[in-house]
Structures are given as C-alpha cells and as structure tokens.
Amino acid sequence: MKKNLLGFLLLLCSFSGFGQTTAKLNAPTNQELKINKHIYGHFAEHLGRCIYGGFYVGEDNKKIPHTAGIRNDVVDALKKLKIPNLRWPGGCFADTYHWKDGIGPKSQRPTIVNSWWGGVTENNSFGTHDFLNMCELLGTEPYLAGNVGSGQVQELADWVQYVNFAGEGPMSKLRRANGRQEPWKVKYWGIGNEAWGCGGNMTAEYYANVYRKYATFVSDWNNTGGIYRIASGANSGDYNWTEVLMKNIPKSLIEGVALHHYSVIDWNKKGPATDFSDEQYFTTMKRALFMEELVTKHIAIMDKYDPEKKVALVVDEWGGWYDVEPGTNPGFLYQQNTMRDAMIAGVTLNIFNNHCERVRMANLAQAINVLQAVILTDEEKMILTPTYHVMEMYNVHQDATFLPLEVKSADFAFNNEKLPAVSGSASRDQQGVTHITLVNIDSKKANDISIDVQALKLKSVSGRILTSKSIQDHNTFEKPNTITPANFKGASIKGNNLNVKLPPFSVVVLELK
Ligand code: AHR
C-alpha cells in the first residue's frame, strides 16, 4: 500500500510541471577562498567583426560616436559589465600575428592575410597602442596572447619590453617614438594558443619544451616584473596535455595553464543558433555541464604536481558554438544569442565559482559579433545579448568570498537521459551581502528549491531574474529589449529556509542580508 502511495506521488510530481530541489548554503571555508574577478574575463580576436566594426570603427568615422576609433556605446556597455580582463589578439590569429606590424603611423602599416578567419585582408590599423589604450578606457586588464606558432622568442621578448619597460632601451625608445611615454604594465601573457592545433600542431612534450624557452625570455631570473605566464592548454578532455605540461614545466616558469572547451553539438553539424530543437537544446546543455567534469579532472591532475595550487587553471575560451547566421561569412563566426546561451553562461559561471580555488581566470568567447557574444553590432546599432545580462547579474561574485552551496537537484530529463536541472553558486561581498546565483535549465518545468541557510542567519531576500516566453527568444536590432533582467518575487525566507520558485529556463541572482 505504502509503495503504491509513493508511486502515485512520484507520478503526480512528474505530471505537475515542477521539480523539487534542495540545497544547503555553508559558511566560508576555513581558508576564506575568493572568487577571482578574472573568472569574468572576455576575449577579442581579429576575427570577423569582433575588432573591426565591433570594438573599433576607425578614427575618421563620422556615423558612429567614438573615442580614438573605439565605439563609445560599446565602452559604456562593457564598463557596466565590469569586465576584469580582455584577451587579445587571438585565438588562432595570435599565432599568425607579428606585433610590430601594428605599431607606428597607420598609413605605413603592412597588410597581412587573416588566414584562419575568412582569408580577409588585415590592415593592422588596430594594433598594440589601440588595444592597450582601449583597455585603459574600459578599465580592464589586458591579457596579451603571444605568437609562438609562427613567431620568434626574440619577437615576444621585444613585445614585453615594448609595453612594460620603463627605463631606457631599444623597445621603450620605439614605444616613446610612437607616442606612449609610460609603459602599460601588462601582467597577463599567453605563451601561444592551442599549440596542439592552429598554434603549431605540436605534441604536448614538444610544446612543453618550447614553452620553457619562451617563458624564460619573457621574464628575468626572478620574474621581477611579476609577469603571469599562461601556457596554451588542453582541448577539452585531453588530460594527457595537462599532465605533460604540469610534469615538465618548472613551477618557477608558469603561473597558469589554459583549457578550451566549447559547448558544440557536433563539429560537423553544429545546428542553428536560434531555431534549435528540444534535442539540440538538451545536447547543448550536456556539453555545457561537461565543464564540471572537465575542470574536476584537470584540477585533479594539477593537484598531483602542484598541491600548493600555485598554478591557476585558466579557461581562456568557453561558450556556445553554432552554425553562422544564414548569409554571413562562414569564417566570421557570427551567431545570434538566445536564452539557451543564457543557460550556458549561468551554469558555466556557477561551475567556475564553485572551483574558484584553482579556476582563477576565464574568458568567454568572444566579446562582440563572434560566437557567444555579449554585444552584437550592425553599423551604428548595438544590442546586448542574454549572455550580457547573465554576466552583468553575476558580477556581484567578483572578488567576493566563496560560500559553498550544495545542491541536490531535480532531473531535467529528455528521452532516456537526465541532467541536473538546477545549479548554483554563492558568495559574500565586502559589505557582508550574500549573493546566490541559480539556474534552472529545464526548458519545460519550473523548479521549487528549498535552501537551508541556517549557517548564515539570513533575514531578507530580493532578486532579479532573466527568462522569457520561449527558449529560442533573443534580442534583435528591431526589438533589443525582448530579454532583459526583471525584478524577481519568487523567493522568500521562512526560519532557516530560503524558498525559491525558479521558472523553466531561468537565471536568478538573489541578494540576501
Ligand atoms: O574562438 C574562436 C577560435 O576557437 C579561436 O581562435 C581558437 O583558439 C579556438 O579554436
């Protein structure tokens, strides 16, 4: 009889259109971990319309308001996002880029062919000064990706001197002749990109040696400049790559190891960015949630060689990747951005926050008009994507104290497969305010979440939500505000319990005092 009753209740639950999730919010861990703000980094490659038309419209542009060629609307939007760092100039482009082509009078700069991205002519009108001055305008830290694939050690060592050296030397002299007196002091340097692929098709063993040589010459004996050297990391689940790098590179030569992972359904059949099916949606979520397994396993390898956790895991490319919008250049990777992308962003950032002890930097690919962009532009028009809004809602976690949130989620089921529907992460900021970010990826069912908050003695809750009528919804140049965050009334505190009603495919940020 009891068994029958239980079966009936379970059946009722599965038809009632909502899932039940429980969670427990814990006090800070003993070491008081911080969620590094650099987890919220972005990426700008010379690819399609990311730089040209996205960030930069040229000093002579009369139609689009700009400051030294940089779009003012983009600067304002990115400042609101509080972007902590910006990676440039690639990606694959970085290993074809010779920085000296992009300095000096623009009329005299040589052109090159952008061989990876559409075979278009790159006129180098946006170069080192343009990028680093733009970072100052944005209030963000530059992260320069050095050319290892087709470059020279001397070339990268010269670039470091050019942008960082305050004294008298050939490179600082050249910088001054080009109009910049003081160095920019760039801390973050990538030593190549995807060395296993477009960066040179190297083996892990070969690259580890190449890396050692480059890392030696971008610093001095004691790395007195405090340069943060990031090794080109693994492609998704290539754990051997991380193992070989961690084993063969002395800790004195490395500050970060990268990892790239895209939420792509199938590299040969990526599917549309907007008109996707339920099955495609589920697969994308599976790929996005795979980040949990990836970081866990890469971290376990890093722990073996670096138990002190000196070296950071830097996920410097992540995001959704679909077919390009019909009629656009296939080499430009221009795609729309729907509520599906908001789900990818929400769950991925929760994963990074929850692994903040080792994941200390990450870069969404890419900032404007490319892949999972936060901004899309069309000439003088600019729109913010659902991903932008998630990044903005989550920026409360930047440099805040990590609070462990244990979630026992209801299932998001499709055909015979299941994924956890709800994910979350939490932190306490410097003012003592607690924030919880929650995502329900279930596209059909709401989720009732009961969170035990006894450890934090919380009394009041308010929040914001990002959701829409349909998972395929997106902002367009004609309707730019279809998806924007709204006030959230679905959370309440009763005693030690925080109850939250999360609608299907929604992202919520809660503020608790
Ligand atoms: O982000 C687009 C490309 O994806 C990058 O250039 C490359 O690093 C990766 O394969």
pLDDT in tens, 240-299: 999 999 999 999 999 999 999 999 999 999 999 999 999 999 999 999 999 999 999 999
Is the pLDDT at 61 greater than 70? The verdict is: yes
Is the pLDDT at 16 greater than 60? The verdict is: no
pLDDT tens digits, one per residue of 133-160: 999 999 999 999 999 999 999 999 999 9
Gap between the Cα atoms of 178 and 185, Å rounded: 17
| CA of 366, closest atom in ligand 1 | 1
92 lines ligand 1 (CB under 6 A): yes
Report field, pTM of the whole predicted structure over 0.85: yes
195 lines ligand 1 (CB under 6 A): no
pLDDT of residue 30: 79
Please, are residues 251 and 257 in contact by the beta-carbon 8 Å criterion?
no
Counting ligand 1 atoms within 8 A of each CB, the residue from 42, 92, 232, 261 with the most, and so the one to mutate, is 92
CA angle in degrees (0–180, nearest 5) for 502-390-474: 85
Percent of the chain with pLDDT over 70: 97
Show which residues are catalytic: 194, 317
Phi, psi of 2 (to 5 degrees): -55, -40
Average pLDDT over the chain, rounded to an integer: 95
**Mean pLDDT along residues 163-191:** 97
Is the pLDDT at 126 greater than 60? The verdict is: yes
194 lines ligand 1 (CB under 6 A): yes
pLDDT tens digits, one per residue of 326-382: 999 999 999 999 999 999 999 999 999 999 999 999 999 999 999 999 999 999 999
State the distance from the centre of ligand 1 to the C-alpha of 94, rounded, in angstroms: 10
pLDDT higher at 11 or 313: 313
Is the pLDDT at 109 greater than 70? The verdict is: yes
Is the pLDDT at 31 greater than 90? The verdict is: no
Residue nearest to atom 7 of ligand 1 (CA): 91
Please, are residues 83 and 140 in contact by the beta-carbon 8 Å criterion?
yes
45 lines ligand 1 (CB under 6 A): yes
| CA of 93, closest atom in ligand 1 | 6
pLDDT of residue 4: 52
Is the pLDDT at 483 greater than 60? The verdict is: yes
State the distance from the centre of ligand 1 to the C-alpha of 195, rounded, in angstroms: 12
| CA of 194, closest atom in ligand 1 | 8
pLDDT of residue 220: 86
257 lines ligand 1 (CB under 6 A): no
199 lines ligand 1 (CB under 6 A): no
The string of DSSP codes covering 163-217 is: HH--SSSHHHHHHHHTT--S-----EEEE-S-TTTTTT---HHHHHHHHHHHHHH
Is the pLDDT at 481 greater than 50? The verdict is: yes
